[in-house]
Structure 1
Amino acid sequence: MTQQPIVLPYGDPAFVADPFPFYRMLCQGQPGEDGPVRRAVIAGGLEVWLVTPFEECLAALSDPRLSSDVRLATDPRLMRQLPVAERESVLGNMLRADPPDHTRLRRLVSRAFTARRVAELRPHVQEIADRLLDAVVPTGRADLIEDFALPLPVTVISELLGVPTDDRRAFQRWVDHLLPWGAEPQDPAVVERAWRQMRAYLTGLLATKRVRPGEDLLSALIEARDEQRRLTEDELVSMAFLLLAAGYITTVNLIGGGIAALLAHPDQLRTLRDDPALLPDAIEELLRYDGPVNPGVARFASEDVSIAGVDIPRGATVLVGSALADRDPERFPDPDRLDISRGDSAHLAFGHGIHYCLGASLARMEGEVAIGTVLRRLPQLALSVAPGELRWRPTGLRGPERLPVTFTPGASLAAVPS
């Protein structure tokens, strides 16, 4: 086995723009190189055990020996990247919890994301999408991230949780400082300040809702905390933060990245315009082809474990390379081809096992509404810059930072007489 870990080249603009050629080379390997599990250096200089084949990734995501609790990691840098004074609060959410805490926390919010509840939300999400496009349709140009892909899921999750409209830009700014957007860790002082501001805001918002509860998810969680004693105060704050951040950030990249992929494949764009019934299949293929979680999700070995014959020590960080697995030719024929009629939704873009994305149904629905509305209302849609000029987030949550486009101007729905 190769002694030196392979380094993912986050400093290479070509890799940031399109990491899949490098992933392909990595997975194909050379004689004498590592197999399906190998040591790798990722963003921030962290060393991980990278799992790449689909079947091994699928198994790893269900393996109880691979924990979500970062406190098990032997690499101290992982904990140091979290806000110093609030580490226990940050860790007190279901994303980083194992059973039985994970089971208890997830059960408290799962009813807000059922298929029935998501279907009930769809008409309102359509109204939001149309309202956002009404503002740009007459101009013939837009940044589909800033003008559309970002505010749509932010509005949806804010309304679902009961966050006031005027506060949404502030929490977006704090989340931007808290999440690892770049190849290097965020400045600890910036992260610390953002978390303190976010925590102070959430504490104040929850206090207000204790006095004046509404028909929203945060009010329901407060009841679970105060009357049913099913949450600690730290868990309540952490849950609020997780739902706010996770409720929009991956969906922004699903919408923006999905539209960018379609623009890069005009035959698929044309096929989808001609047959909108393909939209659900298109969303699944866009998630598989270039989903928002890239290269994958981290787990931490709670004991010595063997994956595909490779011995991994207790405390090691295991990176389950879901983005690489979703291009595995053993699982998906011709995996590097975008094919919206592929009809295969068994990808790992939303994870697998007990941590399967709670908001997957909501994200799928928002993606369908958003991309379907863009294709219906923006004729002759095209990038207004060369494809190589698009800037992509370099790690973790993949998507274009901006998506400047032009299209044939038209009338807004609000201006069309009924």
Structure 2
Amino acid sequence: MIQLDELTEPLDEIFSTGNHILDQALGGGIRTGMLWEIVGESSAGKTQVALQLSLFVQNPPELGGISGSTCYLTTSAKLPTGRLKQIADSNSQLSPDCGLDHVHTISISTVPILQNILTNVLPSFIQQKASSPKPVKLVIIDALTELFHSSEKTSKTTLFDRSKDLNRIASALHTIAGTYNVAVVVINEVIDRFERGPAPSSSKDLVYSDKSRWFNTCNSVFGENTKEASLGLVWANQLNARIMLSKTGRRRYIDESELLLPQQQQKKARVDGSSSSSVQQPQVPVNDDDAQQATLVRRLSVIFSSVAPCVSLDYIITHEGFRVLPDDSLLEELKAQSYGFANEESDEPTQIQNNATALPELTAPAQPSQSQEESKEDEWDRYWEEEDEDSKNVDWDALELSLTQAES
């Protein structure tokens, strides 16, 4: 067994999403060794984000990437190579050698096929590419929910079978992420969320609606909590991070200068004295036809993450990919808890540290006295004894059914 002090390679790596603000919101960018989920309704931009990640992982370290390639697994549609090429050709942050050649794709139609791919085919392929200039560093499944659409009537048996399949898939994904140090991104869909009445006062269990409110949905804008992530809490418990994309119905006239950080705006003003707009929209709509030209604004929310706090931000989709709209209060908040946020006075681009040691130093707390430690240990012992006693009386079959009955 290898000891921690014997490791010669970093435990994980981080690559940029292609947007500086989103990188900070995610704890520095997309981290390998983790299972990420991007969930949202149709046309929210889930595939757009996945395509952009599959390109930016190819960037060299000096541009925020990790010189990796992508395995892109599709379930219901083919890989949109036209859109992928458009992003690669138009996004100036990408290295010239980033493109379709390093995005490997395969189509999957059933759950058993996916399990076989994850257990046998994909590990072998990753090992084969390990010695190449661009080893596999990102695996994307677009979209997992498509494999679980069924016309069968929902029953206890079907729920049990689905839970078993999800656990097997998640186990295989975590094995791939941990063994080969790759990032795994799974695209998921949403379902309608229905409010239920309060649980009986005598019940000690946390009802599904309460759990879903914390792990399956978000409330950053009005109407956003009408949808929740599909596949239930069985799947949510397997994730390291969940990101929800939402359509807001809002439109804005966006100028290119709005998408730049303050120091980038100052530098651009010094160079040409003006801010050119790639959107080229008038500032005030004249009529309804003009109003239709305003840019559609969407909302991204980090519902939970093991490496970053919960946060929400606006973004748009352009020909270059997704672009986050800066918010002064959000920037200050992210700067206070960031991992290597750029100095506003510096003109140099931010360099992302591709290892786990880039975290800020923490001051060690004062050591408690022996009596305090013993008191805490006694308190936790009592807590777990009580929890264990309560768990003996739980009807686990009924609980599993209640966790997923919202999707019936």
Q: More helix by proportion, 1 or 2?
A: 1
TM-score class, shorter-chain normalisation, is under 0.3
Between structure 1 and structure 2, the one with the greater Rg is 2
The alignment's TM-score, normalised by the length of structure 1, stands at: 0.24
The alignment's TM-score, normalised by the length of structure 2, stands at: 0.25
